Amino acid sequence: MCTGIETALAIAAMASAGVSAYAQHQSAKAQSDAMRVQADTESMERTAAAEEELGQNIKAHREARARARVAAGESGAMGASFAASINQSLQDQDMDAGLIAKNLAFQQRGIQDRLSLGLSQVRDISAVEAGLNIATAGASGYQTGLSIKRARQGKKPNEQGDPHA
């Protein structure tokens, strides 16, 4: 027969376990969100740096081609070798842009890998685990209540009273 103290302790223990499970979930969520924000920030910084490098690279190649055009125009050497050097400059620019893009892709993959690893290490409680913790806490609280009740009645904690005796 269930009395007030067993029920009260069971409910209190279950409430405490529920609050603890919720707090653990919120903590895990906050950690995950912080990791995602950090990864997004790092990704944006890396992208901005790559865009800056690409812009400087394109500017340097354009300046080199402009100098070549001026020099070729002043000397009158606008033949096939001039066209080949301009084409080579354009190819070099494209190759540099490709390397910058490839390096950025590797950096982005590294950021995502670190994020995935970090997220895999975040300990979030599952609904089943939370339910089991709450149920276990309730049973433990109920048993504690029974022990208190028996102690008040002068019985040993493991002694079973026969209600029909």
Query: What pLDDT, on a 0 to 100 scale, did the predictor assign at position 121?
Result: 92
The answer to pTM > 0.85 is no
**Looking at residues 8-18, what average pLDDT do you find?**
91
C-alpha to C-alpha distance for 83 and 54, rounded to whole angstroms: 24
Whether residue 73 is predicted with pLDDT greater than 60 in this model: the reply is yes
Cβ pair 101, 50 in contact under 8 A:
yes
In three state form, how does the secondary structure of the chain look? CCCHHHHHHHHHHHHHHHHHHHHHHHHHHHHHHHHHHHHHHHHHHHHHHHHHHHHHHHHHHHHHHHHHHHHHHHHCCCCHHHHHHHHHHHHHHHHHHHHHHHHHHHHHHHHHHHHHHHHHCCCCCCHHHHHHHHHHHHHHHHHHHHHHHHHHHCCCCCCCCCCCC
Residue 145's pLDDT band, with cuts at 50, 70 and 90, is confident
**Which residues, 6+ apart, have CB-to-CB distance to 61 below 8 Å?**
89, 90, 92, 93, 96
**Looking at residues 16-38, what average pLDDT do you find?**
94
Query: What pLDDT, on a 0 to 100 scale, did the predictor assign at position 5?
Result: 83
**Which residues, 6+ apart, have CB-to-CB distance to 21 below 8 Å?**
125, 129, 130, 133, 134
